[in-house]
């Protein structure tokens, strides 16, 4: 790794001020993505601002609006929160499916959504549930937050402080894990609300996206049978050594059916 300065922020304000002051600083949360990237010199920040010491960024709170999860809450803390599992089990299930125990002990919700890896799990759940990403500056709907490959709506000097997941009537998340990393080869989150059904897909395209024809079919009839006859085009889907675009297209249909079954279970 190239040298960089290290700064442990004491509060969100402190971190934001520091980030604004330096053109080339980066935020460090769990480090599960950033530190490997620094080793490969994909990034060369002048300074890392460690969010690990900021208590106000940690924790899970439930309210009438849904689940408020602080940006530096780790995957293991999310998976282990009993009230959250009772209220919105799909979030807990996604969190416990991430990587391995050591990754879950360090990796955070904020780091995962900010990174927007095309195969990450949380972006699918955030988009599927129609979450709101709260930053030090504004509130951004998941629909506008996840912009493209490793790209989000976050501007310079902006950091995620919390994600608010609304309460669905029911929801499910099914993924076909890459056997080497457990990232999603394809993962589908299906959620039913009074206002309609949302279906979000990760792993298949350059960034998480919604599947509108599946949403319409499920709005008419929330059952896996409703998806019979719908096919997924392989055009523009990821095609790499892990899976062909055609196979991913097939998996989208399979995972969507499983997610519906989980929601109904």
Partner 1 sequence: MDVQVSFTLNGKMVSAAAGSATLLVDLLRNRFGLTGTHVGCDTSQCGACVVHVDGASVKSCTMLAAQIDGCAVDTIEGLSGNGELHPLQQAFHEHHALQCGFCTPGMIMSAADLLKRNPRPSELEVRDWLEGNMCRCTGYHNIVKAVRAAAGVMGEEGS
Ligand X SMILES: Cc1cc2nc3c(=O)[nH]c(=O)nc-3n(C[C@H](O)[C@H](O)[C@H](O)COP(=O)(O)OP(=O)(O)OC[C@H]3O[C@@H](n4cnc5c(N)ncnc54)[C@H](O)[C@@H]3O)c2cc1C
Through-space distance between the first and last CA atoms of the chain, rounded to whole angstroms: 47
Q: Which of 16, 30, 78, 118 binds ligand X (CB under 6 A)?
A: 30
Cβ atoms within 10 Å of 25's Cβ, excluding its own: 20
Q: Which of 13, 39, 65, 137 binds partner 1 (CB under 8 A)?
A: 39
Q: Which helix (H) or strand (E) holds 79?
A: helix 75-80
Bridge pairing between strands 160-166 and 170-177: unpaired
Cβ of residue 169: shortest distance to ligand X, in angstroms?
25
CA torsion, ordered 65, 71, 77, 83, to nearest 10 deg: -10
| CA geometry: angle 209, 214, 216, nearest 5 deg | 115
Cβ of residue 32: shortest distance to ligand X, in angstroms?
3
91-110 residues in contact with partner 1 (CB under 8 A) are: 99-103, 105-106
Q: Name which of 35 and 234 has its Cβ closer to partner 1.
A: 35
Burial class (CB in 10 A: 0-12, 13-18, 19+), 155: exposed
Site string for ligand X, 170-209 (x = CB under 6 A): -----------xxx--------------------------
- Our finding on whether 148 is near partner 1 (CB under 8 A) is no
d(CA 40, CA 108): 21
216-255 residues in contact with ligand X (CB under 6 A) are: none
| CA geometry: angle 22, 26, 28, nearest 5 deg | 135
- Our finding on whether 92 is near ligand X (CB under 6 A) is no
The stretch near ligand X (CB under 6 A) out of 6-14, 24-32, 82-90, 166-174 is 24-32
The stretch near ligand X (CB under 6 A) out of 114-122, 126-134, 164-172, 190-198 is 114-122
- Our finding on whether 160 is near ligand X (CB under 6 A) is yes
d(CA 252, CA 102): 28
Q: Which of 8, 17, 22, 31 binds ligand X (CB under 6 A)?
A: 31
Cβ of residue 196: shortest distance to partner 1, in angstroms?
35
- Give the DSSP letter of residue 223: S
24, 37, 53, 104, 121 from 124: Cα distances, Å: 29, 23, 28, 17, 6
- Selection from partner 1, ligand X, none that 3 binds (CB < 5 to 8 A by kind) is partner 1
The stretch near partner 1 (CB under 8 A) out of 29-37, 82-90, 167-175, 248-256 is 29-37
- Our finding on whether 115 is near ligand X (CB under 6 A) is yes
- Selection from ligand X, partner 1, none that 52 binds (CB < 5 to 8 A by kind) is partner 1
- Our finding on whether 223 is near partner 1 (CB under 8 A) is no
């Amino acid at each position: 790794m190239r040298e960089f300065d290290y700064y442990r922020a004491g509060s969100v304000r402190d971190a934001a001020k520091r980030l604004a002051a330096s053109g080339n600083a980066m935020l460090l949360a769990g480090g599960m993505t950033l530190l490997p990237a620094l080793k490969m010199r994909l990034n060369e920040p002048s300074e890392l601002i460690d969010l690990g010491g900021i208590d106000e960024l940690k924790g899970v709170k439930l309210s009438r609006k849904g689940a408020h999860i602080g940006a530096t809450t780790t995957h293991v803390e999310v998976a282990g929160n009993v009230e959250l599992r009772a209220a919105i089990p799909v979030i807990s299930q996604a969190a416990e499916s991430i990587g391995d125990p050591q990754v879950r002990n360090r990796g955070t919700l904020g780091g995962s959504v900010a990174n927007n890896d095309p195969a990450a799990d949380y972006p699918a759940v955030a988009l599927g549930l129609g979450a709101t990403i709260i930053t030090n500056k504004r509130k951004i709907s998941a629909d506008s937050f996840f912009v493209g490959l490793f790209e989000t709506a976050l501007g310079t000097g902006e950091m995620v402080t919390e994600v608010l997941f609304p309460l669905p009537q029911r929801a499910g998340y099914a993924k076909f894990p890459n056997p080497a990393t457990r990232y999603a080869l394809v993962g589908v989150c299906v959620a039913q609300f009074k206002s309609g059904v949302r279906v979000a897909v990760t792993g298949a395209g350059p960034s998480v996206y919604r599947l509108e024809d599946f949403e319409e079919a499920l709005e008419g009839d929330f059952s896996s049978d409703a998806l019979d006859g719908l096919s997924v085009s392989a055009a523009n889907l990821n095609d790499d050594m892990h899976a062909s675009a055609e196979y991913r297209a097939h998996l989208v249909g399979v995972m969507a059916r499983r997610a519906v079954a989980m929601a109904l279970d």
